[in-house]
Amino acid sequence: MTLAPRAVVIHRTTELDELLAHHGTRGQAAFFLTSRNRSIDEVVARHDAADAALATVSAAIPIDWRRGTVERADLARFLFAPDDVIIVVGQDGLVANVAKYLDGQPVIGINTDTVRNPGVLVAHQPDEVGELLRSRDETEARTMVEAITDDGQELRALNEIYLGHPSHQTARYTITPPDAPAEPQASSGLIVATGTGATGWCRSVWLEHHSALTLPQPTEPRLAWFVREAWPSPVTGTNCTEGELTDSGLAITIESEHLVLFGDGIETDNIGLTSGQRVIIRRAQSVLRLVR
């Protein structure tokens, strides 16, 4: 017997939830916000809108489907199944948070606040969920990036992967691009970005570089990489500071005692690296399948 699909709803705690967890009562939360020249009314309104969106999404899931609900903080502990349909209710960044835990499952992005959220990845309204579930095989494949260490650890990201010092101090390593000789470097770290991430941190570094490199598009199977603030010295160079990756990866040999890899700006979810380790950063084999 074939099981019905499972709809997994991803959400995050609202600002009101966090204020109540910290201050205990709504009155105390309101007093705190007033001291910051803010009103609790706007916070409550966004909370109610998020609750209403979740209720609308829940009602649209077919009654014979299995269901799961995951808060953002619990994503690393949740076991996704191959036949899951993922419904992300919230901000664009929440899609990036969940993407690295998936392996080809379709993702529906629901925007709970069209005033504050651009809606690049959460492009749909709550009342569209029923139709989107029926057309869940019509997806847009978003390129992802992955890092693999020589001891078998892996990290994937939707926007970009950062390699550098955990406090953004000088990182020392040797970089080997696919089309250039190896170069020892001292820098503020490097990022390898997808087309989805090309409008964020990657674009900022690209502008600082005054780069002539064409940044990738979200569905394009190409990555862009940039070194941040490379420092010239008698033993470190600045020749290899940007480029693109298609079929090959960027190889880095660590020469500092402690560097980290993290993806999509989530510094707490990182891989620690020590001197002598080797890392390959490349285009991931899996993609984010975004329902359109």
CATH number at residue 51: 3.40.50
Flag whether 53 is in a domain: yes
Which residue, 100, 120, 137, sits at the end of a domain? 137
Instruction: Examine the domain organization and report whether 206 and 132 are in the same domain.
Output: no
Which residue, 91, 119, 137, sits at the end of a domain? 137
Q: What's the whole-model pTM score?
A: 0.88
pLDDT band at 69 (very low <50, low <70, confident <90, very high): very high
pLDDT in tens, 232-263: 999 999 999 999 999 999 999 999 999 999 99
Calculate what percentage of the chain has a pLDDT beyond 90.
Answer: 91
Neighbours of 70 (CB within 10 A): 19
Q: How many domains are contained in the chain? A: 2
pLDDT band at 117 (very low <50, low <70, confident <90, very high): confident
Instruction: Examine the domain organization and report whether 173 and 242 are in the same domain.
Output: yes
Predicted pLDDT at 1: 55
pLDDT in tens, 136-178: 999 999 999 999 999 999 999 999 999 999 988 999 999 999 9
CA of 256: how far to CAs of 117, 151, 161, 279, in Å? 39, 17, 18, 13
Which residue, 104, 137, 170, sits at the end of a domain? 137
3-state per-residue secondary structure call for the chain: CCCCCEEEEEECCCHHHHHHHHHCCHHHHHHHHHHCCCCHHHHHHHHHHHHHHHHHHHHHCCCCCEEEEEEHHHHHHCCCCCCEEEEEEECHHHHHHHHCCCCCCEEEEEECCCCCCCCCCCCECHHHHHHHHHCCCCEEEEEEEEEEECCCCEEEECCEEEEECCCCCCEEEEEECCCCCCEEEEECCEEEECCHHHHCHHHHHHHHHCCCCCCCCCCCCCEEEEECCCCCCCCCCCCCCEEEECCCCEEEEECCCCEEEEECCCCCCEEEECCCCEEEEEEEEEEEEEEC
Instruction: Examine the domain organization and report whether 130 and 223 are in the same domain.
Output: no
Distance, in Å, from the CA atom of 275 to the CA atom of 256, rounded to the nearest integer, reads: 5
Predicted pLDDT at 4: 86
CATH number at residue 241: 2.60.200.30
pLDDT in tens, 92-112: 999 999 999 999 999 999 999
Work out the angle at residue 131's Cα, subtended by the Cα atoms of residues 120 and 68, and round it to the nearest 5 degrees: 80
Distance, in Å, from the CA atom of 177 to the CA atom of 245, rounded to the nearest integer, reads: 9
Instruction: Examine the domain organization and report whether 178 and 119 are in the same domain.
Output: no
Domain that holds residue 129: 6-137
